[in-house]
Structure 1
Amino acid sequence: MWPQFAPLRLPLRRRLQTAAVLQWVFSFLAMAQCCLVAFLALALGEGWALAALYAAWLYLDWDTPARGGRRSAWVRGWAVWRYFRDYFPIRLVKTAELEPGRNYLFGFHPHGVLVAGAFGNFCTEATGFSALFPGLTPHLLMLPFWFKVPFFRDYIMSGGLVSSEKASVSHLLGCEGGGQVAVIAVGGPPEALEARPGALTLRVRDRKGFIKMALRHGAALVPVFSFGENELFCQVSNPRGSFVRAVQERLQHAMGLALPLFHARGVFQYNFGLLPFRRPIHTVVGAPILVPKTPHPSREAIDELHAAYLRKLVQLFEENKAKYGVPEDKHLILA
């Protein structure tokens, strides 16, 4: 099949939208490696003194990703994120009031390949989180590994990303006075391997750690479903039991990272590349499930709350799917 090239006379705003998404994909796939190389170049070259100063700073600042991070309102408000939002476009949908006097644990579904909806809604102000939910501060949880990379850790923290380790979640949910929101992509790396157009499989049945944390701190649970998240990329066929899936799962267990073999469109042509398709994302925030503070929750209490959470998640999906293009006969598969 001949490649389908982008028209030469596209409006400037479309070009800027593509550039914004290109830098975002780069930040996910290569920025950490570039930052590490830059640090090593400084350390092994004439910039060794700067590298030594940064290493000392890194030592003193090591726990910051697990203590609320270091967000920057300036970075979150960059114009580039508005172009990023409009590329798809991304919309944040509020269905219930959330009191700022509480702490919240948002369960984000589905993970997708690169969690574009979670990033756009909770790591930037492009979709108006602060206006929709005044008094609340969102923090998107990310694997601790990435906060060990020099320079890169400072960049991702500026958007509101924090470590997903237990100490980090406890710090947020235990804040006196409330107003903190920890956002977790519940399905994690295993669910990323399921992400492809039309997929509705969620890896949630054996995911109960976030339920336990909510009980320990009395944080309200909020199901969030991002319609369109799985429509952004295709994946190389990797059914369970296949050689490709076996290799991916082995690497995931060894490294803690998902390595989906994804593809979508390119910068100047629409047939193949690593840019996501232009598909709308509607991230719907459900009503809160109030949780009693239980410092030492029993297995029964965890299972009961987990079941209640799944019911609310399914209800949120069913009530909204027709609005966002999901056929009536399609339902969530909870694995």
Structure 2
Amino acid sequence: MAKIEKGYATPFFIGEFAAMVYFLVVTIVFPCCWLITIFLIIYGNYFWKIVMLTYLFYIHITNAKFFFNIKGNGFRFLRSNWLWKQLRLYFPVELVKTVNLPADRHYIFANFPHGVVTYGCSINVTFDIDNWLALFPGIRPRQTILNATFLTPFFHEYLRCCGFISVSEKSLMHHLTTRWRGDGFTSNGVVIMVGGAQEALDSHPGQYELTFLRRKGFVRVAIKSGAAIVPCFTFGEVDSFDRWDGHRAQSWQLLIKYLFGISITLIKGRGGCPLPFKRRIVQVVGAPIDVVQSDNPQPEYIEEIHQKVVESVKKLFEEHKSKYVENYENVKLVIN
């Protein structure tokens, strides 16, 4: 087993600053970009109306044709810089490899749980990738995001420069069947937060409640593309925030998730503010599950592979919880 050590403590307040910057980027910038766009279209002069409408048209046309990604690994200075290293050290966030992954094929990394904000996976896969490159050389890390979020005006330019891609099936198939070696990488590692918004709504400290018994789309994509599925479990992700809004999602939160596919949670961190608790976060990457490629996957085979993923996730949790979970004897894994 290989791992990246957590390193040294961050300078006073630097880690807190990095954590707040990340939180604001994830939660505030996205809606603000849409508000600015709508404002300019409705209240702007003819110049701004034409510019914004043309820009929106450009986004959707180019996304449909080229999946609007940047070839290669994005811009390195956005994916490995001093600020995000301070965020890694703030919790700290660690990355653990259980087996070697050859870079001669594509992978779907099925990561659990989502957590409220997804600090661990995003830091390891997107914002501070040096550790990833050391453990998985040759595998280009690409984190997925909702298509609606990925197409957000202005914001999506930043997302694609950081290596994000849309989680739509067409986008996934493109990245899992295309090889581009101009940057030295030989395969793509596409990371999917399978539990998504529902798992975020179910996130509470000390509780590991996963949502994926009925989520089999990623398995179908894996079979159609021939990509291996690599289960990942991020311990401590659920401990970064507590909740103001009770143990279960409220009706208005479920309605927003149904309409827009996103989750809105009333969180509280240190001092009751949206500053995450300093809790150790460890992402454990499991062994790959190979599939037999098929352009027309049969339901029985999809179910067979999906069950292997379920059992592999359970095994990861049980084998590693004693090392990364406090009072692990009383912590159970719930899969819905």
SS of residue in 2 equivalent to 1:13: coil
Shift of residue 324, structure 1, vs aligned partner? 0.8
Question: Equivalents in 2 of 1:226, 1:25: separation in Å?
Answer: 19
The sequence identity of aligned pairs, in percent, is 32
What residue number does 2:277 align with? Answer: 277
Which of these residues, 240, 250, 265, is aligned with residue 245 of structure 1?
250
Matched, 1:33 2:34: no
Shift of residue 314, structure 1, vs aligned partner? 0.8
Amino acid at match of 2:242: C
What residue number does 2:311 align with? Answer: 311
Shift of residue 135, structure 1, vs aligned partner? 0.5
What residue number does 2:269 align with? Answer: 264
Shift of residue 127, structure 1, vs aligned partner? 5.2
Amino acid at match of 2:120: G
What residue number does 1:62 align with? Answer: 63
Once the two structures are superposed, residues 303-331 of structure 1 have per-residue CA deviations (whole angstroms, 9 ceiling, x without a partner) of: 11111111111111111111112413423
**Superposition pairs for residues 84-123 of structure 1, below 5 Å?**
84-123=87-126
Question: Equivalents in 1 of 2:85, 2:156: separation in Å?
Answer: 23
Distance 1:212 1:57, change over 3 A: closer
Matched, 1:182 2:190: yes
Q: Aligned pair count?
A: 317
Shift of residue 124, structure 1, vs aligned partner? 2.0
What residue number does 1:3 align with? Answer: none
Shift of residue 66, structure 1, vs aligned partner? 2.9
Amino acid at match of 2:299: R
The answer to whether the Cα contact below 8 Å between 2:245 and 2:265 also exists between their aligned partners in 1 is no
The answer to whether the Cα contact below 8 Å between 2:127 and 2:162 also exists between their aligned partners in 1 is yes
Question: Equivalents in 2 of 1:118, 1:175: separation in Å?
Answer: 24
**Superposition pairs for residues 193-232 of structure 1, below 5 Å?**
193-232=201-240
What residue number does 1:8 align with? Answer: none
Question: Equivalents in 2 of 1:114, 1:65: separation in Å?
Answer: 28
Shift of residue 62, structure 1, vs aligned partner? 3.1
Which of these residues, 169, 177, 191, is aligned with residue 199 of structure 2?
191
Question: Equivalents in 2 of 1:107, 1:52: separation in Å?
Answer: 36
The answer to whether the Cα contact below 8 Å between 1:144 and 1:163 also exists between their aligned partners in 2 is yes
Distance 1:186 1:40, change over 3 A: closer
Once the two structures are superposed, residues 74-120 of structure 1 have per-residue CA deviations (whole angstroms, 9 ceiling, x without a partner) of: 21122111011111111111111111111000011000001111110
**Superposition pairs for residues 12-27 of structure 1, below 5 Å?**
13-27=11-25
What residue number does 1:136 align with? Answer: 139
What residue number does 1:6 align with? Answer: none
What residue number does 1:164 align with? Answer: 167
Distance 1:155 1:278, change over 3 A: same
Question: Equivalents in 1 of 2:222, 2:55: separation in Å?
Answer: 36
The answer to whether the Cα contact below 8 Å between 2:69 and 2:165 also exists between their aligned partners in 1 is yes
Structure 1 residue runs without a partner (length 5+)? 1-10, 266-270
After superposing the two structures, state which structure 1 stretch, 95-104 or 250-259, moved more. 250-259
Shift of residue 59, structure 1, vs aligned partner? 5.6
Question: Equivalents in 1 of 2:57, 2:205: separation in Å?
Answer: 46
What residue number does 2:6 align with? Answer: none
SS of residue in 2 equivalent to 1:20: helix
What residue number does 2:183 align with? Answer: none
Question: Equivalents in 1 of 2:65, 2:283: separation in Å?
Answer: 28
Distance 1:98 1:30, change over 3 A: same
What residue number does 1:4 align with? Answer: none
Shift of residue 296, structure 1, vs aligned partner? 1.1
After superposing the two structures, state which structure 1 stretch, 306-315 or 125-134, moved more. 125-134
What is the TM-score normalised by the length of structure 1? Answer: 0.87
Shift of residue 256, structure 1, vs aligned partner? 1.2
What residue number does 2:154 align with? Answer: 151
The answer to whether the Cα contact below 8 Å between 1:189 and 1:257 also exists between their aligned partners in 2 is yes
Distance 1:164 1:59, change over 3 A: closer
Question: Equivalents in 1 of 2:230, 2:10: separation in Å?
Answer: 38
Shift of residue 251, structure 1, vs aligned partner? 1.8
Question: Equivalents in 1 of 2:285, 2:259: separation in Å?
Answer: 34
What is the TM-score normalised by the length of structure 2? Answer: 0.86
